[in-house]
Amino acid sequence: MKIAPFRGRDVRGHPPNADPLRALTPRGPMTRRPLLIVVLAAGQGTRMKSAAPKVLHKIGGRSMLAHVLGVVQELGADAVSVVIGPGMETVRAEALAQVPSAHVCVQPEPKGTADALGAAREALKRHAGDVLVLYADTPLLTAATLGRILAALDAGTGIAVLGFEPADPTGYGRLLSDGGRGLAAIREEKDATEAERALKLCNSGVMAFRLDNLLGVLDRIGNANAKGEFYLTDVVEIARADGVQATIVVCPEDEVLGVNGRDQLAAAEAVFQKRARARAMREGATLIAPETVWFSWDTKIGQDVVVEPNVFFGPGVTIDDGAEIKANSYMEQSHIGQGARVGPFARLRPGADVGPRARVGNFVELKNVTLREGAKANHLAYLGDADVGAGSNIGAGTIFCNYDGFQKHRTEIGEGVFVGSNSSLVAPVKIGAGAYIGSGSVITKNVSADALALERGSQEERPGWAAKFRAMMGKRKAKAG
Ligand code: UD1
Ligand code: CA
Cα–ligand 2 centroid distance for 273 (angstroms): 21
pLDDT for position 401: 98
* Ligand 1 neighbour 115 (Cβ under 6 A): yes
Among 7-11, 446-450, 459-463, which is the least confidently predicted range?
A: 7-11
pLDDT for position 43: 87
Cα–ligand 1 centroid distance for 188 (angstroms): 10
Amino acid, res. 78: D
Cα–ligand 2 centroid distance for 201 (angstroms): 16
User: Residue whose CA is closest, atom 36 of ligand 1?
Assistant: 113
> Is residue 466 predicted with pLDDT exceeding 60?
yes
| 379 assigned to active site | yes
pLDDT digits (tens, 9 = 90+) for 157-195: 999 999 999 999 999 999 999 888 799 999 999 999 999
> Is residue 348 predicted with pLDDT exceeding 70?
yes
To the nearest whole number, what is the mean pLDDT of the chain? Answer: 93
pLDDT digits (tens, 9 = 90+) for 233-290: 999 999 999 999 999 999 999 999 999 999 999 999 999 999 999 999 999 999 999 9
> Per-residue confidence at 18, pLDDT binned at 50, 70, 90?
very low
* Ligand 1 neighbour 355 (Cβ under 6 A): no
pLDDT digits (tens, 9 = 90+) for 51-67: 999 999 999 999 999 99
pLDDT for position 27: 54
- Residue of higher predicted confidence among 32 and 221: 221
Task: Judge whether 75 and 145 are in contact, CB under 8 Å.
Answer: no
Annotated catalytic residue: which of 67, 127, 335, 379?
379
> Is residue 445 predicted with pLDDT exceeding 90?
yes
User: Residue whose CA is closest, atom 25 of ligand 1?
Assistant: 43
Average pLDDT over residues 336-346: 98
> Per-residue confidence at 3, pLDDT binned at 50, 70, 90?
very low
* Ligand 1 neighbour 379 (Cβ under 6 A): no
pLDDT digits (tens, 9 = 90+) for 370-412: 999 999 999 999 999 999 999 999 999 999 999 999 999 999 9
